[in-house]
Structure 1
Amino acid sequence: MKPKIRLVQTADGVNYLVPFVLITTLFFLWGFAHSILDVLNKHFQDALSISKTHSALIQAVVYGGYFLMAMPAGEIIRRHGYRAGVVTGLLLYGIGALMFIPGEQIMSFEFFLLSLFIIGCGLTCLETAANPYVTVLGDKDSAERRINLAQSFNGLGWICGPLVGGLFLFAADGGSGSVAIPYAIIGILVLLVAIVFSRIHLPEITLAEEPVETANNKQSSLWQHRNFTFGLIALFFYVAAQTGINSFFINYVTEHISISAREAALWLSFVGMGLFMAGRMGGSWLMGFIRAERLLTYMAAGAILAMILVMLGMGVISVGAFFLCLLCESIMFPTIFALAIRGVGEHTKRASSYLIMSIVGGAIAPIIMGYIADTISTATGFIVPLLCFIVILAYAIHLQKNNR
């Protein structure tokens, strides 16, 4: 009878609870950084009198940073270890956040974009280090459950971002608030965390991994591993969908029901991101009973249905569909990531860098959706995430067929 393996313990009894807890704190920090962008979009549209398409450059520079920084980040980790990747990421994140203090005085959109690009480069280092690291902190059969649990705290960051952003960026009287205060707070916090990580020891785990194998059981290169290559595409489209949906949630809600941008931000925080976090925690538990690829299939189908309802513009029903979509989205990133690097053997770190590069999808979708919103309607723009979820459904079905 096979012994029961704990979530953060290997088959030979090595326990990684402490490094797992430490790394999990990082998931909160980048969840916050991403989710506050969704409030920045509407804030800059109002404060700087720019179009939806123009404001989408906020996401473009952050996620563009992922594309440009992913390979250098991977090289840092390969040469100097996971801790070096984490500390580098935290330093860049903190510096970029503190640049918002002079940015509020200058009120130059271009300067804010530069600050956000630096933050994006920092987040790239954090994700390139933390995502694969979490998957190896225990038995390999529980990798998908472990990364979903860690990503639950990313969900907590997604709750706090719109909450803090909504309170500081949108004044109670409907005016424009301060953009410097929330970024100053998070910048100082992140730099303090960087000091902590520079002084602690994170075990560098050397896996006794088999070479990469294809379906015909012959050794091959990473690019012949179909689960990885299709996973790379699926992750690109997932981040495109998530970023596009969150970027224009406030615009959509304020256009279709009578609430303010401040109230919409609170809805996104407590209801939407609360479901997002609950979904990740529940998904980690469900994967103890349902195979990850099957659960991904159900969630992708639910997200497709939700986007159809959003595009129909049915008022409160369509707003409710947004929340259904956020629940369905919850497990997608960590599950796709873990399934894509499953079985890639000695190429795990390099594969992780390529997967992080695919996050550049978040730079593209908001611009396309912003253009559609400016020229046709905000609701029509949600055809972009609808198509993205169809790709993810195809990936999940592909995995199920290959693992029967």
Structure 2
Amino acid sequence: MKHRPMIVSYILLIWFAISFITNLIGPLMPIAIQDFKLSLTMAGFMPFSFFLAYGLISIPGGILIEVRGTRFTLFAAFALNFIGALAIAVMPGYVSVVAGLFVIGLGMALLQVVINPLMRVAAGEQHFAFFSVMAQLVFGLASFLSPLAFRFYMQRPGVEGQPLAWLTFYWFFSAAFVLLALLNYKLPLPAVALKDDERAGSREAYRSLLRRADVRLYFLAIVAYVGTEQSLANWMSQFLHSYHGMSATEQGAIAVSRFWGLMSLGCLVGLGLLKLLDSKLVLAIFSTLAIGCLGLALFGPANISLLAFPAAGFFLSVMFSVIFSLGLNSVSQHHGAFSGILCSGILGGAVVPLLIGVVADYWGLRLGLSLVFIPLLYILSVSAWARPLVRNQTLYSAKQRSAKNTSASNTPASP
């Protein structure tokens, strides 16, 4: 493909934008609480509105790609993102922020649905795995940089302490979405023919899957994972401020940045471990260690809490991909429809942080964040009850298979 490097770079730029904008919510939460004089329940509606949109649009987004194509879907996504960001920038207020985040969430979900098949076609199937990993690294880099950019801007002379100073980010986001939409218009994007595992699936496929108990359990596992991830990312800065007197724009923002940075590092370590160990064992080990980190973060002294929150990100890193692969490997058909069901589990990022805010208003944020032990224990249980039809291949299993094949080939044929 003549313009492959340009188109792949464009897709990676979209991944960067998705991550940077999404992960600004965490460090922004304590500042928004101060600026709008919010209760913790009201603050919880910020991530709730954003991730509710993700849960609602994942399956319809796949249908839109099939009906109208990738370029139209990208335009629709950028339009929604622009409207949401501009609404926050032009009409600063709690209601407009919640509504704007919901609209941005709709656009972000559409983008995530469309750019994976677009990357497969643009990069070529033989390079798809490599560029998929690169996209995750770009996503992780943006997650790491977003809170640092927030910290840098909010501590500038003349900005620090000024109410609503963070609205500047949403003016920049509005301009960025216009630029991305123009590039979408100018670039020679390839036509995308969705593969079976990328299609939304028929109504009967969804009915067939949802009748299965294991499908519903895997859906809840994704809800549990995203709820855990977003609860820690969005509430840790407020926790450090409330219980240890740390600055939301200094130590809080750094903690959120390290959380995402260590999550990216954990992904790389997890890739190596999955070549050595069964994925269920890796999930059990990482879940147990994440539970330990959460306990230290919530009940340890300030210096331990400041380290334990980011460390939890390292151990959360492999959970989404392992749960997703265990789920898909547990069914023999309708993988596209099952992927849509699992992706809808992203609404866990809406429900769990909101529940934490409600509990925190009555009994404190420490008890509120203690709710996160429940989804982590559920994720740990997946390692016990998951029964995939196909297990991940490890170096040991590959050697065993090679030895069996060698033994079979050396066995003399019976007379």
TM-score range, shorter chain: 0.7 to 0.9
Note the C-alpha offset of 1:339.
Answer: 4.0
Question: How many Å separate the matches in 2 of 1:288 and 1:197?
Answer: 38
Note the C-alpha offset of 1:372.
Answer: 2.1
| Candidates 106, 110, 127, aligned match of 1:121 | 106
Gaps of 5+ in 2: 198-206, 392-415
> Would you say 1:23 and 2:8 are equivalent positions?
no
Where do 1:290-309 residues align within 5 Å? 290-309=277-296
- 2:370 aligned residue: 383
Note the C-alpha offset of 1:166.
Answer: 3.0
Note the C-alpha offset of 1:342.
Answer: 4.3
TM-score normalized by structure 1? 0.80
Question: How many Å separate the matches in 1 of 2:257 and 2:282?
Answer: 25
Shift in CA distance, 181/85, structure 1 to aligned 2, threshold 3 Å: same
- 2:95 aligned residue: 110
Note the C-alpha offset of 1:315.
Answer: 2.4
Contact 2:326 2:388 in 1 (8 A): no
Question: How many Å separate the matches in 2 of 1:46 and 1:370?
Answer: 15
Note the C-alpha offset of 1:120.
Answer: 0.8
| Candidates 328, 340, 353, aligned match of 1:366 | 353
Question: How many Å separate the matches in 1 of 2:119 and 2:275?
Answer: 17
| Identity among equivalent pairs (%) | 22
Q: Please say which of residues 75-84 and 365-374 is displaced more in the overlay.
A: 75-84
Question: How many Å separate the matches in 1 of 2:325 and 2:95?
Answer: 36
- 1:191 aligned residue: 178
| Candidates 34, 40, 53, aligned match of 1:52 | 40
Larger of the two Rg values belongs to structure: 2
Note the C-alpha offset of 1:75.
Answer: 1.4
> Would you say 1:268 and 2:255 are equivalent positions?
yes
| Candidates 11, 21, 32, aligned match of 1:33 | 21
Question: How many Å separate the matches in 2 of 1:340 and 1:373?
Answer: 33
- 1:243 aligned residue: 230
Give deviations 1:241-272, integer Å, cap 9, x for gaps.
11111111111112333431111243135422
Aligned residue identity for 2:113 = T
| Candidates 141, 158, 182, aligned match of 2:143 | 158
How many residue pairs align between the two structures? 376
Q: Please say which of residues 366-375 and 170-179 is displaced more in the overlay.
A: 170-179
Contact 1:124 1:356 in 2 (8 A): no
Superposed CA RMSD: 3.3
| Candidates 62, 65, 70, aligned match of 2:53 | 65
Give deviations 1:205-244, integer Å, cap 9, x for gaps.
55477xxxxxxxxxx9333666644322111111111111
TM-score normalized by structure 2? 0.79
Note the C-alpha offset of 1:309.
Answer: 1.9
Gaps of 5+ in 1: 1-15, 210-219
- 1:76 aligned residue: 64
Shift in CA distance, 266/403, structure 1 to aligned 2, threshold 3 Å: same
Shift in CA distance, 62/21, structure 1 to aligned 2, threshold 3 Å: same
- 1:333 aligned residue: 320
Shift in CA distance, 57/201, structure 1 to aligned 2, threshold 3 Å: same
Shift in CA distance, 345/139, structure 1 to aligned 2, threshold 3 Å: farther
Aligned residue identity for 1:232 = F
Contact 2:255 2:306 in 1 (8 A): no
Aligned residue identity for 1:151 = Q
